[in-house]
Amino acid sequence: MPLYRTRAVVLKTLNLSEKDKLVTFLSETHGKIKCVAKAARRLKSRFGASLEPMSYVSLIYFGREHQELYRLNQCDIIQSFQEVRENPDSFYTAVYFLELADHLVAEAHPEPEIFRLLVQSLNEAGKTVTPGTLCRLFELRIMSYAGYTPRLKKCIACNRQPQSRWVGFSYIHHGIVCEPCFGKEPVEIRIQSGTVEYLKKFLSLDLNHVHRLKVPQEVETEIESITHRLVLARLGRELKSYPFIRQMAEINSTY
Ligand SMILES: [Zn+2]
């Protein structure tokens, strides 16, 4: 049976029996994979703490190609993101990233860009004091890598660059609408044209610089109305971790 070696992030684990765990990884080379970790629930398991969700690991697994479940052979921690786990803000943000990756990546379908985005974003989550900005950027980028890049350069109705201060956004057509075209296309929301510039920046920015990015609160709220709606439109429902992120943001804005 072939043996596979790759780097991966642990997305989630499930107790399979009294001894075994089922672990879902986002791997660098094989997309999302599911492995059975034999005896991983034992106190002195050879996998140690490496199977904790969020861990960035180096793993060896085996099984026939294209099967649904593989067998985990070895798993070693590259990075545990302890600093992310210790702070509730960054912790829930990171859990949201794991959930999004789990829902948007298909099994055995390599997504190297999403893998890199996840690892870099987990790194940034430990540095940033504004997880909201990182969250918006992650939503926009992961949707874009999954094939849902919003059209931000030209109006989806007339194909011209908007000149006005306000532009509309159509969730149905995934793009901006200039003011003169407001009557022609369904416009669900109006945003400042400056916000569109931030969205474009989010798509091209080097992720290592996110923690230095300063986004005004009203702009971030407008960005969220675009990026989070894109996520909801694709998934059809809210992810479990999202209400926690909202609560943390509200607590932080009160104090
Ligand atoms: Zn137009």
| pLDDT (tens digit per residue) in 120-138 | 999 999 887 778 899 999 9
Which residue range is the domain that position 30 belongs to?
A: 1-80
Give the helix ranges, DSSP H, for 126-169.
131-145
> Ligand 1 center to residue 78 CA distance, Å?
49
Given CA atoms 160, 162, 168, 174 in this order, what sign does their dihedral have? positive
Q: Nearest-5° angle of CA 204, CA 207, CA 208? A: 135
Query: Which of 14, 47, 80 is the endpoint of a domain?
Result: 80
Same domain, 74 and 108: no
Give the per-residue pLDDT at 131.
86
Same domain, 170 and 240: yes
- Cβ atoms of 213 and 133 within 8 Å: the answer is yes
Work out the pLDDT band at 255, boundaries 50, 70, 90.
low
Query: Which of 58, 80, 102 is the endpoint of a domain?
Result: 80
Give the per-residue pLDDT at 254.
65
Same domain, 137 and 156: yes
Same domain, 188 and 127: yes
Model pTM?
0.92
Same domain, 114 and 70: no
**Structural domain tally of the chain?**
2
Q: Measured in Å, how far apart are the chain's first and last C-alpha atoms?
A: 57
Same domain, 196 and 73: no
pLDDT in tens, 70-124: 999 999 999 999 999 999 889 999 999 999 999 999 898 999 999 999 999 999 9
CATH of the domain at 110: 1.20.1440.120
Give the per-residue pLDDT at 47.
87
How far is C-alpha 153 from the geometric centre of its chain's CA atoms?
Answer: 24
Same domain, 16 and 41: yes
Query: Which of 47, 80, 113 is the endpoint of a domain?
Result: 80
pLDDT in tens, 193-229: 999 999 999 999 988 888 888 899 999 999 999 999 8
Residues with CB under 5 A from ligand 1 (ion): 155, 157-158, 178, 181
> Ligand 1 center to residue 64 CA distance, Å?
53
Give the per-residue pLDDT at 249.
76
> Ligand 1 center to residue 191 CA distance, Å?
15
> Ligand 1 center to residue 180 CA distance, Å?
6
